[in-house]
Amino acid sequence: MKDNKLIAEFMGEKFTDASGVVQGLNYKLIEKKHGEGNNGFRFHTSWDWLMPVVAKCTELNDDEFDNQSIAWALLSDSIIDAYDHVVEFIKEYNDDTI
């Protein structure tokens, strides 16, 4: 998924060039375990990957950002819905914090 890079950056990973090469301590482990597709990130297929992102969104939530849609997506038990709402939150957060 194209937004895995956006989420990875939001979570603190550093990309060194346009090809998506990541510089960080965890990336080689990620690539070895999950492969190179989507930069090895599985935010769109694994609750284990997505839930720390949801937690960070919740921590950053204030009056300016409404992450209630993330909560509703979690209740739907659809990882794709939750992923889409997390991406929407991150884009809004990034736009408002620049």
In degrees and rounded to multiples of 5, residue 78 shows phi and psi of -110, 115
1-19 tens-digit pLDDT: 679 888 988 988 776 655 5
Furthest-apart CA atoms within the chain: distance in Å: 40
pLDDT tens digit sequence for 11-45: 887 766 555 555 554 544 555 455 555 456 788 88
What Cα–Cα distance (Å) separates residue 19 from each residue in 5, 15, 22, 39?
Answer: 11, 9, 9, 10
Compute the residue count for the chain.
Answer: 98
